[in-house]
Amino acid sequence: MTCSSGYESILGGLQQSRQLPVPSTGNQTVLPSNKFNLKVLLLLSSGHLVTDLYQGALPVILPFLKAKLMLSYTATGVILLVGSLTSSVIQPLFGYISDRKEKPLLLPLGCFCAALGFSMLSFPVSFTLVVPLVVLSGLGIASYHPEGFRTAHFFTGEKKVTGMSIFSVGGNLGFAIGPLLTLFVIQTYGFDRLPVMIAPALIFVVTILTFWHTIALPRSGAQNAEAQKAGASQKAQWFPLIVLIAVVVMRSWVQVGLLTYIPFYFIDYLKGDALQAGTLVSTFLTGGAIGTLSGAPLADRWGHKRYLVLSMLFSSLMLPLFFVTKGILLFVVLGLLGMILISSFSVTIVMAQHLIPQGLGVASGLMAGFAIGTGGICVTLLGVIADLFGVPAALQAITVLPVIGLLLALTLRYKQGDTQ
């Protein structure tokens, strides 16, 4: 069987399952665009889950690295800074490469590198040896996302946010599972057994290669032509995009700040149990995963900008409750906060793709990478605050950030068809 006939066979099976004809133009089979394909989205989402598992787990191992290597809070902030730079800030570069020519091999390769760098972090005996491993893991994470978001875009159908949320929720679940799984491994087997964390990535690599032709269907025909035609009819709107990036920076600063300093707050400051701290982090991220799926249909119905404004408003009201609740109620507050705050993740991805339709990969890299990574960089400032004034002061400083995000969202000029 030739490569071409194999592709046509796979494509025919996918289309037959939706009872849609497979059009042909000459010798080239053309893949219909803008059709919702749950199978492909779930496959991509599973890779998103595994890749972000390692990104989500990095903050919770910082207390163990700090104790082993006798690091300061500022030094642990630098580790997070390096992780943010390599895993997030450079994503637009990978998005640019993806827009020029698709590179689906980045999906399994990126996931594997993310796992390899992270799982070896228990080996170094000095700070300088930690940094290259964080860079390796970060580059793996950065290479997976733009190609994944760009590929998912073609299978989201008319309800862009709903479709994109299926791909995005994999990352939310990865962030939620990562801390719990990592702390379970450390608590059960010790920090030196961190290398067993490479197992999920190995399973995913085998799975994605098994279904490789389903995921890596070429889109050099109708889909790319239609995307270029749509992009040509609308100029890139750079100023609204800059405002949107600023909103996402505020949102991610809150998210990464909580992920980083909740463990420090409960382990170092309150002298609590590490597993409880990890459970609180995972509760926050699990709420985000639920919010990503449940909020997407509302965003499609109410309008993207309106939903973003509401998300930042209720996050501003919910965050201060973290400091006045205890016990089960604290878990409820963090779960709701994660649900409200992170639910706008898919919304901002789709908004960016709408603002610069000529560069889907770049748009995804800017939202899922650069803006989120910049928020992570800002967490380094929280490390300085923690060293000078204590961990509680660093957490309290976070409460002003969603308010700034709300004000920025209100000024955003964005038109979603007839919905503004």
Q: What is the pTM of this model?
A: 0.71
Contact at 8 Å (CB) between 221 and 28? yes
pLDDT of residue 32: 40
CA distance 91 to 419: 30
- Inform me whether the pLDDT recorded for 234 exceeds 80: no
Residue 13 to residue 30: CA distance in whole angstroms: 14
Lowest mean pLDDT among 2-11, 225-234, 307-316, 345-354: 2-11
**Percent of the chain's residues with pLDDT above 70:** 85
* 148's tokens: 């994944």
- Its domain, for residue 242, covers 35-411
129-141 pLDDT tens trace: 999 999 999 999 9
33-37, 49-53, 223-227: range with highest mean pLDDT: 49-53
Instruction: Please state the domain count of the chain.
Output: 1
Higher pLDDT, 186 or 28: 186
Instruction: Spell out the residues 6+ positions from residue 122 whose beta carbon is closer than 8 angstroms to its own.
Output: 191, 192, 193, 194, 195
CB 232 within 8 A of CB 336: no
The CATH number covering residue 327 comes to 1.20.1250.20
The token duo for 204 is 């995913």
DSSP letters, 45-81, are: HHHHHHHHHHHHHHHHHHHHHHHHHT--HHHHHHHHH
120 part of a folded domain: yes
157 and 163 Cβ atoms separated by less than 8 Å: yes
Examine the pLDDT at 414 and tell me if it is beyond 80: yes
Determine, yes or no, domain membership for 30. no
3 found inside a domain: no
Distance of alpha carbon 175 from alpha carbon 302, whole angstroms: 27
Helix (H) or strand (E) holding 24: strand 24-25
Examine residue 253 and state whether it is found in any structural domain, yes or no: yes
The verdict on residue 28 lying in a domain is no
Which H helix or E strand runs over 259?
helix 238-264
d(CA 348, CA 320): 24
How many CB atoms lie under 10 A from the CB of residue 299?
28
**Residue among 376, 380, 349 at smallest CA distance from 365:** 349
What's the CA gap between 34 and 93, in Å, rounded? 25
Tokens linked to 362? 């770049």
pLDDT of residue 27: 36
8, part of any domain: no
Any domain includes 122: yes
Of 214, 264, 171, 237, nearest to 37 by C-alpha is 214
* Residue 5 burial class via C-beta count within 10 angstroms: exposed 0-12, middle 13-18, buried 19 and up: exposed
Q: Mind listing the pLDDT tens digit for each residue in 305-339?
A: 999 999 999 999 999 999 888 889 999 999 999 99
Q: How far apart are the first and last CA of the chain?
A: 51
Contact (CB, 8 A) for 367 and 95: no
Confidence of residue 235 (pLDDT cuts 50, 70, 90): low
Residue 416 lies in a domain: no
For residue 259, count other CB atoms closer than 10 A to its CB.
Answer: 24
Helix, strand, or coil here: 416? strand
Say which residue the tokens 């940094």 belong to. 131
More confident residue, 34 or 363: 363
pLDDT digits (tens, 9 = 90+) for 244-257: 999 999 998 998 88
**Local structure of residue 288 (DSSP, 8 states):** H
Give the pLDDT confidence of 258-302 residue by residue, as tens digits.
988 888 888 777 777 777 787 888 788 888 889 988 888 898 888
Confidence of residue 177 (pLDDT cuts 50, 70, 90): confident
Residue with the two structure tokens 């099976």: 13
Residue with tokens 């900008």: 305
